[in-house]
Amino acid sequence: MDALRDYEQQVYAAVLGKVIGVYMGRPFEGWCKDALEKRWGRVDRYVHEDCGKPLVVPDDDISGTLTFIRALADSGGYAETPAEFFGDTWLNYLIEGKTVLWWGGLGHSTEHTAYLRLKHGVRAPQSGSIALNGRTVAEQIGAQIFIDAFGMVAPGDPVLAARLARRSAAVSHDGEAVHAAVVVAGMVSAAFVEKDMQTLLDVGIGLVPAASLIAQVHRDVRAWCRADGDWRRTYERINERYGYSLYGGNCHVIPNHAIMVMAWCYAPSDFHLAQTIINTAGWDTDCNAANVGSVSALVVGLERLCEAYDFRTPLADRIVLPTAEGTRGMTDCLAEALHIARLGRRLMGWPALPPPKDGAWHHFALPGAVHGYQCEEQHLENRGAAVVTNAPLPAGSGLALKLDFQTSAGRTARVSTPILPPDVQGGYGIQATPRLYPGMTLRAECVAGAVSGAAQARLFVRFAAAEGEGKIVCGPAQALLPGATLVLTLAIPESDGLPVRDAGFEISSPKTAGGTLYCDRVTWSGTPTLGWKDGPPLLRGTFPGWVVDADIVRGAFSDDREVVRHAGKNEGRGIVVTGTTDWRDYTFVARVKIHLADQAGILVRYQGLERYVALVQTRDRLQLIRRWYGRDTVLAAAPSAWAWDELHTLRLVCRGTHITGSCDGAILLAAEESGLDSGGAGFLFERGIMGFRDVQVSG
């Protein structure tokens, strides 16, 4: 099959369809149809404000979909990734109780049950099997909700999509749940080249056994839809034959899959109607609306997603994606779509495309893309001062972020994108590290459109804070002259060790002014240069901008003579990590101590809980180790002994494949490591507590 000319745009549409469905259905997840109709008549719009909830929240449907697909590249096997490695991927990216999943407990949450099996040494696919977990637990909805991306990486090849989907789904599920996941992945795959919904349903069901219950659900629901002509009548039939009362567990796949088929049948080429039906039908609304949305978005195309309702402006592409590796903890729909498309091109044997606009961080290269930028509305002086859209550059050389502004002496336009997730209550944990750090320079290439009055623009970043909105730092301002080209820059300074929370544009004027500013691209450069003398700030029981897998986080003990941060793990190994996979060659230094732990130290090139290099002190040795999926390989070691609560200076230097570690400048350890070429830095502690201070990152 030749490469699809619009492949990236179609993946973007599918990701948007998935995310829109989650955000639409999340506020009333678990409601029944009668309750929804009593409250709203029909759910044909975002109703989060009616429920007093934010629109953009972390959610397992999104997090699982965009996390488990990483197994393909992480394994290096892509289409040949073995089944066991999909389980390894869970152990690398999931922090128990904090990221991606609903952590409901053994036998209560299917995913948590599977995670515990993996944690205790059971390999996939046995971890999700009926034989081990029982049919009811194994046939809940989770496999289906995480699966869309496996169709996106196999465009027009539903057999490949089904093969990958089975391997991924079987980590946590079995039986009819895996069949349901295969149907969804196959439909997503086929929808890249086939836009007739009945044909897509045929393709999906053709990938599972005809004798399966999922196949029978399809036959029944499609027949009822043809006979009834009214989705509410069909819903009643589904509720009678396949409703929740007939299946065990919290959220069985069969009832929910049945109403998804119903929505596709009654809205074969209408994204808005499909979302209205599936959300008004109730049950597991965010999951169902997400799966329906990814297929329906591919059928109608990017240009028709908002033909009846503006789904896209309120969400501004924003995604909260918390995992144990924090680089993409705050991300956006286009960035994630392009990650998926790069995988898809590799799997399909298609040539890789050069990254848009020479690899710009934000490039706005597809219609409607805004990379999370929205006008800030929290203060009267900013409210309504700008409108953000995606539009062609005035010279016609591609798409850009368009800022239409109206400012005055008391009215400032401020447009920003989040660098760290907002502190929202979505039912799932938030773990993320910022993409921007002190020592780096932010740059935006812009063009002024029509401008009336004397206005100026500059970049700004906002740092996190214990209270309030945080400190804002701005770059140099430049006058907005009609048609002029501008390059806005901001060298990010230190700010008491606090992380960057937001970044964006500020447009102001001494008198009334209005006009348009187009941003063609946003880039950053430079190596982080930062330090925390007393250790990272401890706010609300955690370290903001750090990924934390710890049972204990606290400040100094009563006998500490210096300010020391402490973190500990009751069982197993914990980490406290900052930085991203953008970090390559750098030096990480800290003074650390063992309060009471089997081993502790510092780590670099961190790519998840199962992928990093660390310098650790055990009871009697200093070791340079490589962690790789359940196994520590000792790269170098030397005799060493520390007294409890005695601070020592540990240093790790990364230069290409060469990594050097030292303790107090006396013990030197070195090794070559080619498999881990990037990643963040931080602390490791095993079965106990360690302390740290005087932390530095430098180029």
According to DSSP, residue 153 is labeled T
Q: Above 60 in pLDDT, residue 572?
A: yes
Q: How far is CA 573 from CA 218, 418, 595, in A?
A: 46, 31, 15
276/289 Cα distance (integer angstroms): 9
273, 165 in Cβ contact below 8 A?
no
Q: What is the average per-residue pLDDT within 119-131?
A: 98
pLDDT in tens, 573-613: 999 999 999 999 999 999 999 999 999 999 999 999 999 99
pLDDT grade, residue 467 (50/70/90)? confident
Q: Is 203 helix (H, G, I), strand (E, B) or coil?
A: helix
Q: What is the average per-residue pLDDT within 264-272?
A: 98
Q: Which of 249, 251, 269, 34 is nearest to 137 (CA)?
A: 249
Burial annotation 578-604 (CB, 10 A radius, 16+ → b, else e): bbbbbbeebbbbbbbbbbebebbbbbb
Question: What share of the chain has pLDDT > 90, as a percent?
Answer: 93
86, 168 in Cβ contact below 8 A?
yes
Domain 7-320 fold: ADP-ribosylglycohydrolase fold (1.10.4080)
Output the pLDDT for position 118: 98
Q: What is the average per-residue pLDDT within 558-562?
A: 93
pLDDT grade, residue 487 (50/70/90)? very high
pLDDT grade, residue 1 (50/70/90)? confident
Q: How far is CA 487 from CA 445, 446, 514, 520, in A?
A: 5, 6, 20, 10
- Predicted model pTM: 0.97
Q: What is the average per-residue pLDDT within 173-187?
A: 98
Q: What is the average per-residue pLDDT within 92-112?
A: 95
pLDDT in tens, 330-361: 999 999 999 999 999 999 999 999 999 999 99
426, 58 in Cβ contact below 8 A?
yes
647, 531 in Cβ contact below 8 A?
no
Q: What is the CATH number of domain 530-698?
A: 2.60.120.560
* Mean of all residue pLDDT scores within the chain: 96
Q: Is 117 helix (H, G, I), strand (E, B) or coil?
A: helix
Q: Above 80 in pLDDT, residue 428?
A: no
pLDDT grade, residue 141 (50/70/90)? very high
371/362 Cα distance (integer angstroms): 6
Amino acid at 383: R
Provide the residue ranges of all domains of the chain, joining segments of one domain with +: 7-320, 374-525, 530-698
Q: Which residues face 549 on adjacent strands?
A: 575
Q: How far is CA 587 from CA 198, 235, 321, 698, in A?
A: 57, 61, 28, 5
Output the pLDDT for position 541: 82
Q: Which residue has the tokens 């196949």?
A: 215
pLDDT in tens, 198-230: 999 999 999 999 999 999 999 999 999 999 999
Output the pLDDT for position 380: 79
Q: What is the average per-residue pLDDT within 232-261?
A: 96
525/152 Cα distance (integer angstroms): 32
Amino acid at 641: A
Q: How many CB atoms lie within 10 A of CB 487?
A: 9
249/109 Cα distance (integer angstroms): 9
Q: Which residue has the tokens 């396949």?
A: 242
662, 624 in Cβ contact below 8 A?
no
Structural tokens at position 602: 């510092």
Q: What is the average per-residue pLDDT within 155-179?
A: 98
pLDDT grade, residue 425 (50/70/90)? low
Structural tokens at position 107: 């036998």
Q: Which of 360-369, 425-434, 638-647 has the lowest mean pLDDT?
A: 425-434
Output the pLDDT for position 384: 86
320, 58 in Cβ contact below 8 A?
yes
CA angle 336–342–343, rounded 5-degree value: 95
Q: Which residue has the tokens 């869309």?
A: 148
What length is written for the chain? 699
| Nearby residues of 338 by Cβ (< 8 Å), 6 or more positions away | 8, 11, 12, 355, 356
Q: Above 80 in pLDDT, residue 426?
A: no
Q: How far is CA 290 from CA 167, 427, 632, in A?
A: 21, 17, 39
Q: Is 79 helix (H, G, I), strand (E, B) or coil?
A: helix
pLDDT grade, residue 427 (50/70/90)? low
CATH fold match for the domains 7-320 and 530-698 = no
613/605 Cα distance (integer angstroms): 6
pLDDT grade, residue 378 (50/70/90)? confident
Q: Above 70 in pLDDT, residue 424?
A: no
| Nearby residues of 536 by Cβ (< 8 Å), 6 or more positions away | 497, 543, 544, 545, 546, 565, 576, 578, 695
374-525 domain in CATH 2.40.240.10?
Answer: no
pLDDT grade, residue 121 (50/70/90)? very high
Longest dimension (CA), the chain: 82
Q: What is the average per-residue pLDDT within 389-405?
A: 93
Output the pLDDT for position 94: 97
Q: Above 70 in pLDDT, residue 87?
A: yes
70/218 Cα distance (integer angstroms): 31
Output the pLDDT for position 343: 98
